[in-house]
Amino acid sequence: MGCLSVIENNRPPIKIAPSIFVISKPVSFENGSMLIFEVLETGAESLKSRVGMTLHYVFERQAVWGRLESLEACDSSHPGLALMRDRATLRGVITFFGLEAAAIH
């Protein structure tokens, strides 16, 4: 489980998903790599408005540019959500542009 934040307007990071459950492991921030995760729908309001946007994300203490490609309803498969299978879950996909992209922006 991890926390997903964004940096906007050179301000401190803002949490947009306090609890995401990573499906794709290991997490890589290489150009073109993807972070696939699950999140409870009740904690995804801020994520929903950012689908399709390129943003400066912070995950695992690493800031990296990426795009939230999708956020769709799913049947949860993450063990961390096993006791909450009765709650609506979304699966998200972020494509990263690599750590060197931060120097460009």
Position 86 scores a pLDDT of: 83
Position 101 scores a pLDDT of: 57
- Specify which residues 85 forms β-bridges with: none
pLDDT 10s per residue in the chain (105 long)?
889 999 999 899 999 998 899 998 878 889 999 999 999 999 799 999 999 999 999 998 889 999 999 999 999 888 788 778 888 899 999 999 986 655 544
> What domain range is 100 assigned to?
2-104
Q: Total domain count for the chain?
A: 1
Q: What does the alpha-carbon distance between residue 93 and residue 90 come to, in Å, rounded to a whole number?
A: 10
Position 82 scores a pLDDT of: 77
For 41, the 3-state DSSP assignment is: helix
**pTM of the shown model:** 0.88
